């Protein structure tokens, strides 16, 4: 059990997306949910995104995983970082659960790092919110102000920035937490062999939104409207101010069709940046198989990291799962809301619910897709 030892409502009003904060003892009696050996094992897997960063005299050298062996890196000056550990290592899920005081659509992943003394990834700026929780070991963190910072070595394609004047300079020990909103430069230096946990949150960028809008329009063969006008400029080479505005208004009109806008948004926000541990059934199971399994005592659980979302006032009655829109019209909205909120559906709930054939079909589909699975 991971229970946060601070007032989350106060944190949201004073710090969330605004300013960094150090919370000593954010978790009382913190226990690492994963060992360094287990983490090293995950980083050997092809599907899991990992990297090693080595601290060198002239900068930081990044080597992408998977890895076969760690001996060559020695005892210090390197750090292993593994993304989306919550997708692959169920024992890490309770730590993620502690951060569900923020909505699922914003959650990105749990990144776990193992760092040797003097290991770090260099001073950098992230474009997402991060909660850095210290497990075993000690790391010193510096955070700078969120003004303008020079790209390190003039390389604008890298998140690294030049050294900065810290506004926070702190040593984190087991159970301490540092929250950093987007735009604040930060740098961690490892003092002793350390495990750290980064819980990341991000919202879609304009680029991602526009790409998703374009994909949805192409998929649905919509968005064919063109600009029309009844007045034209007498100047051959001029696009009038009214026409510039009118053309841009065509874009804004897309937001006036909630059915399209909501589907686009639900699909976008339920996607995952990292691979999920999806294992679809080789041979599809039937609705009867699902009923039998539940009657035999099975619960049903979603795989780690899967996003299951609903949109308030959805005109389409859809559930959004892993980038897909699933029609749930005619199913009790209270049940849909529980499916979107709870990671596990109990046998007692299912026995009652699966009498609804529409729901049974949806749940069977989710199991066949490999999104949900039977559990004890």
- Comparing CB distances to Co ion, the nearer of 99 and 320 is 99
Q: Which of 202, 158, 168 is nearest to 188 (CA)?
A: 168
CB of 139 to ligand SIN, least distance (A): 7
Instruction: Count the site residues for Co ion by CB under 5 A.
Output: 1
- Nearer to Co ion among residue 112 and residue 319 (C-beta): 112
Distance set, CA 258 to CA 27, 237, 238 (Å): 42, 37, 35
**Does 196 engage in binding with ligand SIN (CB under 6 A)?**
yes
Q: 3-state DSSP call for residue 368?
A: helix
CA-closest candidate to residue 52, choices 31, 32, 74: 74
What mask of x and - would describe binding to Co ion in positions 111 to 140, judged by CB under 5 A?
Answer: ---------------x--------------
Coil, helix or strand at residue 52:
strand
- Whether 28 contacts 5, CB under 8 Å: yes
Closest CA to 134 of 197, 51, 49, 69: 197
Minimum distance, C-beta of residue 68 to ligand SIN, in the bound complex (Å): 23
Question: Helix 206-220 crosses helix 258-269 at what angle (to 10 degrees)?
Answer: 120
| Cα distance between the two ends of the chain | 20
Binders in 135-194 for ligand SIN, by CB under 6 A = 186, 188
Spatial contact of 81 and 111, defined as CB atoms under 8 Å apart: yes
Binding residue for ligand SIN, selected from 45, 104, 126, 136, defined by CB under 6 A: 126
Rounded Cα–Cα distance for residues 376 and 373 (Å): 10
Residue nearest ligand SIN by beta-carbon distance: 188
Nearest residue (CB) to Co ion, 45 versus 189: 189
Shortest reach from residue 53's CB to ligand SIN, in Å: 8
Residue 113 binds which entry of ligand SIN, Co ion, none, CB below 5-8 Å type-dependent: ligand SIN
Nearest distance from C-beta of residue 60 to ligand SIN, angstroms: 10
Interface contacts to ligand SIN, rule CB under 6 A? 113, 120-121, 126, 130, 132, 186, 188, 196, 198
């Amino acid at each position: 059990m991971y229970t946060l030892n601070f007032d989350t409502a106060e944190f949201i009003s004073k710090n969330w997306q605004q300013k960094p904060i150090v919370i000593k003892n954010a978790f009382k009696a913190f226990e690492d949910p994963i060992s360094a050996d287990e983490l090293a094992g995950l980083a050997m897997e092809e599907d899991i995104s990992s990297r090693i960063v080595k601290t060198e005299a002239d900068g930081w050298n990044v080597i992408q995983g998977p890895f076969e062996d760690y001996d060559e890196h020695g005892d210090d000056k390197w750090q292993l970082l593994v993304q989306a550990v919550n997708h692959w290592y169920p024992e890490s899920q309770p730590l993620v659960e502690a951060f569900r005081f923020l909505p699922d659509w914003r959650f990105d992943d749990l990144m776990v790092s193992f760092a040797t003394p003097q290991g770090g990834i260099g001073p950098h700026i992230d474009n997402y919110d991060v909660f850095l929780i210290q497990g075993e070991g000690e790391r010193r963190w510096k955070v700078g102000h969120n003004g303008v910072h020079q790209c390190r070595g003039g390389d604008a394609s890298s998140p690294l920035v030049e050294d900065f004047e810290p506004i926070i300079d702190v040593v984190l020990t087991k159970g301490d937490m540092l929250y950093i909103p987007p735009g604040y430069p930060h740098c961690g230096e490892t003092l002793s062999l350390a495990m750290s946990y980064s819980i990341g949150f991000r919202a879609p960028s304009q680029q991602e939104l526009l790409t998703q809008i374009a994909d949805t329009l192409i998929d649905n063969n919509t968005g064919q409207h063109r600009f029309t006008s009844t007045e034209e400029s007498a100047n051959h080479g001029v696009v009038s101010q009214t026409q510039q505005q009118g053309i841009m208004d065509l874009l804004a009109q897309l937001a006036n069709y909630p059915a399209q806008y909501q589907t686009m948004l639900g699909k976008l926000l339920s996607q995952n940046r990292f691979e999920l541990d999806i294992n679809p059934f080789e041979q599809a199971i039937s609705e009867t198989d699902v009923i039998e399994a539940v009657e035999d005592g099975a619960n049903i659980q979603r795989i780690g990291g899967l996003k299951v979302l609903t949109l308030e006032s959805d005109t389409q009655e859809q559930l959004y799962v892993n980038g897909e829109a699933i029609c749930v019209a005619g199913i009790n909205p209270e049940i849909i809301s529980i499916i979107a909120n709870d990671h596990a559906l109990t046998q007692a709930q299912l026995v009652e619910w699966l009498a609804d054939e529409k729901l049974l079909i949806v749940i069977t589909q989710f199991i066949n897709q490999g999104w949900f699975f039977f559990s004890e």
